[in-house]
Amino acid sequence: METLSKLICPVCNSPHSEVFFEMLEVPVYCNLLWGQQQAARNCPKGDIKLAFCPSCGFISNVAFDPAKLGYSQDYENSQHYSQRFLEYAQSLAAQLIDRHHLYDKDIIEIGCGKGDFLISLCELGNNRGVGFDPSYVPRVEHQQLEDKLQFIQDFYSQDYQNYQADLIVCRHTLEHIPNPADLLNPLREAIGDRLHTTVFFEVPNALDTFRHLAVWDIIYEHCCYFAPTSLSQAFSNAGFQVCNLSEAFEGQFLCLEAQPTTQASPNGGVDGVEPLRRDISAFTAKFQAKVETWMHKLAEITQAGQKAVVWGAGSKGVTFLNLLKLQDSIEYVVDLNPRKQGKYLAGMGQQIVAPEFLQDYQPDVVIVMNSIYENEIRQLTKDLGLTPELICV
């Protein structure tokens, strides 16, 4: 039983949040690299119990324990090895520069990861950048950029109020914080009366996860799932005026642009709550059906004596393999990121291999974890002289 205090919605304070979905004993880190198979299988695990707030649409894991997570430099989340993702990030950077006339300006990125996106923003507009991320690893090639770029291996907090910017970017970070106000309130305070500052946030789109059944996106590290309604309310409550809220990356992401305001703004976006409530009440049954369809499909592959590999050692791949408990039927997971290759996947312990490995292994089936990369993967396998069946999850 969850305690009542846990089920009060952190976005709107409604006491009516209800647990609608559980997934127990999942790896707490999807992107932590393991050097040994047994260590990967014995990785730390935690429970997911998702609650839905019927007032604002906010979804969160009420069983989340932040003490289980502490991001380190072994945490490998760069998606910049995929051409498709790289093109998306580049075009997003160009749009931001253009729309906000960011030339010779100051940019902050909260949760900058390896710094690739911040570097794009700075290079495209000859801007100056400061990136905050406790998992940032200093890189030799960053040294030559040091007159324009600074990286701080820490969480962004009020301690850094003296760093001001024309644009503050934060991508795929807010969903890792149990209470969005813990990031947004200090951010609003740090901006103070510099009302011209624009903030840009990108998060996974809960509508894609719960309406379109992108179920492999449900991971322990994501303690929050935002739909447009709950995301805009979180920003309104923290003293921002939402200027733009749109879907991106074929609906997988939500992008929000906001500016600080000194006026209390009415809660925006509550309209979307009712359709989301219907999605949530149908979700568990649809989720079960999807899992059963996959169990059936994988049993067929095994019975036919075929070999399957998973393509994509990110969080979707980890969730897919762990949820279906595919410890033995799938041996290898392909990933383009050379830092992941040779390591083992959290939970089920598959070895991560480079695409070239498939020339020896000769898989019959490639299970594609993100359909957005299907064409890229088809081309890569074709270039290797392979024609496996590609199935998107």
List CB contacts of 190: < 8 A, sequence separation 6 or more. Answer: 158, 160, 161
Cβ nearer to Zn ion, comparing 191 with 242: 242
SS (H, E, C) 276-296: HHHHHHHHHHHHHHHHHHHHH
User: What's the rounded Cα separation, in Å, for the pair 170 and 184?
Assistant: 11
Give contact residues for Zn ion (rule: CB under 5 A): 9, 11-12, 14, 53, 55-56, 58
Least separation in angstroms between residue 206's CB and Zn ion is 13
Beta-sheet strands, E only, within 265-340: 308-311, 332-334
Query: Using an 8 Å Cβ cutoff, are 52 and 32 in contact?
Result: no
Cβ nearer to Zn ion, comparing 179 with 259: 179
Cβ nearer to Zn ion, comparing 128 with 277: 277
Least separation in angstroms between residue 9's CB and Zn ion is 3
Q: Would you give the DSSP letter of residue 70?
A: -
User: What's the rounded Cα separation, in Å, for the pair 173 and 133?
Assistant: 10
Cβ nearer to Zn ion, comparing 21 with 58: 58
Amino acid at 26: V
Cβ nearer to Zn ion, comparing 226 with 311: 226
Cβ nearer to Zn ion, comparing 53 with 96: 53
List CB contacts of 237: < 8 A, sequence separation 6 or more. Answer: 11, 12, 181, 184, 267
Indicate the SS3 state at residue 350.
Answer: coil
- Sheet with 253-260: strands ordered across: 149-152, 128-132, 106-110, 167-171, 198-204, 253-260, 240-248
Cβ nearer to Zn ion, comparing 85 with 235: 235
Distance of CA 232 to the CA centre of its chain: 18
User: What's the rounded Cα separation, in Å, for the pair 346 and 333?
Assistant: 12
